[in-house]
Amino acid sequence: MATTADYGLGEFTFPRGWFMVATSQEVTTDPVGVRYFGEELVLYRGHSGRVFLIEAFCPHMGTHLAKNTTSYVVKDKEHVEGDNIRCPYHGWRFGPDGRCNDIPYSPSPPPKAACLKSFKVVERAGAIWAWYDAEGGEPDYDVPPFEPYDAPNWVNWNIECLGVLNSHPQEVVDNMTDKGHLEPVHGSIDMVSFENEFDGHVCRQILAAGHKTLAGSGAEPMTNDTWYTGPGILQSVMIGEYPSHMLIAHTPVDDGSVKVWYGLLVKVKNEKPTGSDMALAKAYEVAGVDAFAQDFEIWANKRPCINPMMVRGDGPFDKLRIWYKQFYNARARAGEFQARVNGKYTTRGTSTAPWDAVA
């Protein structure tokens, strides 16, 4: 399993950006322990309904704030108090900002050092998104709006966790420029075009092609518009009889592993989806997970690709890896990497960009 240092991505171990950390239904007033960015963390929902993500271990004596079922702090329903969380060992209470604001047995004010790292969190489209920045800076872009979510005629996704993949996220992001795998892995045929665009913190892939089973030879090509917002949020819009809007989110767990989720919004004929519409959307979702599993199996069993052996017909892996570096280096350098790649790139070997057009 390769590390960030092996890929030469930059000075930070984990990339800066918005990342999914849970589905909305997973987070309640019963705190849960999670691990991301090489750290043990705690997720909980306060009584206001807001969700909070904080460092897991109490600075008093190192107790894990979530992993307890036997303390009376937990049994007496005092674990979450308003939007605060109490340590199950000595009852120290921490606010959403991570600062200790009550020590129940002591007349002394809480020490200033009694403070937990806290993360900025947004709840949107049935998921919990957290901002990570090794420099501690504020977000420099927003969580995407996911417009079709809760919109008329659309069946909302039921986001499925696909587990932890022992692969560096670089391998996952490489797919955005990987024209060559689309036929042997995913069944694309009669490729019309394959284009990439880099624009600041967004990386885009536009594919027009047939498919061995979804659209046979001679059928109208399918068009997929796929883009990353930052390093960990992928969306893809697929046009067809039932348009769909896909989400793939991946979040670093440790250096060289990621947790992955999949969701699919499906547009149906009825403004208020019926039971039949729900069943149709579920079938699309299952098919989508199966298609993504084709990538997942490859990633899980390949050795790290530190330096791609690029040939004519490959997409712009080199440009993608430069784009990706902006998230692993000081924010002040982001423009440097963006300036090196911003623009559109067409990969040859398609009907609109044939080989005979190459000098």
pLDDT, tens only, 145-172:
999 999 999 999 999 999 999 999 999 9
- Whether residue 215 is predicted with pLDDT greater than 80 in this model: the reply is no
pLDDT, tens only, 247-281:
999 999 999 999 999 999 999 999 999 999 999 99
d(CA 63, CA 70): 14
Token output for 259: 């947790």
Token output for 216: 């046979």
Strands (DSSP E) along the chain, which ranges?
Answer: 17-23, 32-36, 39-45, 51-55, 80-81, 84-86, 93-94, 100-102, 118-119, 121-124, 127-132, 154-155, 160-165, 188-199, 202-211, 222-229, 233-238, 244-254, 257-267, 343-346
pTM recorded for the entire structure? 0.95
What's the pLDDT score for residue 216?
47
3 state DSSP class of 89 = coil
Task: Give DSSP secondary structure letters for 238-302.
Answer: E-SSS-EEEEEEEEEEETTEEEEEEEEEEE-SSSS--HHHHHHHHHHHHHHHHHHHHHHHHHHHS
How far from 241 is each of 91, 222, 323, CA to CA, in Å? 57, 11, 34
**Rounded average pLDDT over 310-333:** 96
**Rounded average pLDDT over 352-357:** 82
d(CA 129, CA 91): 28
pLDDT, tens only, 3-20:
999 999 999 999 999 999
102-115: b or e for each residue (b if 16 or more CB lie within 10 Å)? ebeeeeeebeeebb
Token output for 355: 């080989």
pLDDT, tens only, 290-317:
888 888 899 999 999 999 999 999 999 9
Dihedral over alpha carbons 20, 23, 28, 32 (to 10 degrees) = -60
CA-closest candidate to residue 232, choices 170, 320, 292:
170
pLDDT, tens only, 94-120:
999 999 999 999 999 999 999 999 999
The greatest distance separating any two alpha carbons of the chain, rounded to the nearest whole angstrom, comes to 82
- Whether residue 81 is predicted with pLDDT greater than 80 in this model: the reply is yes
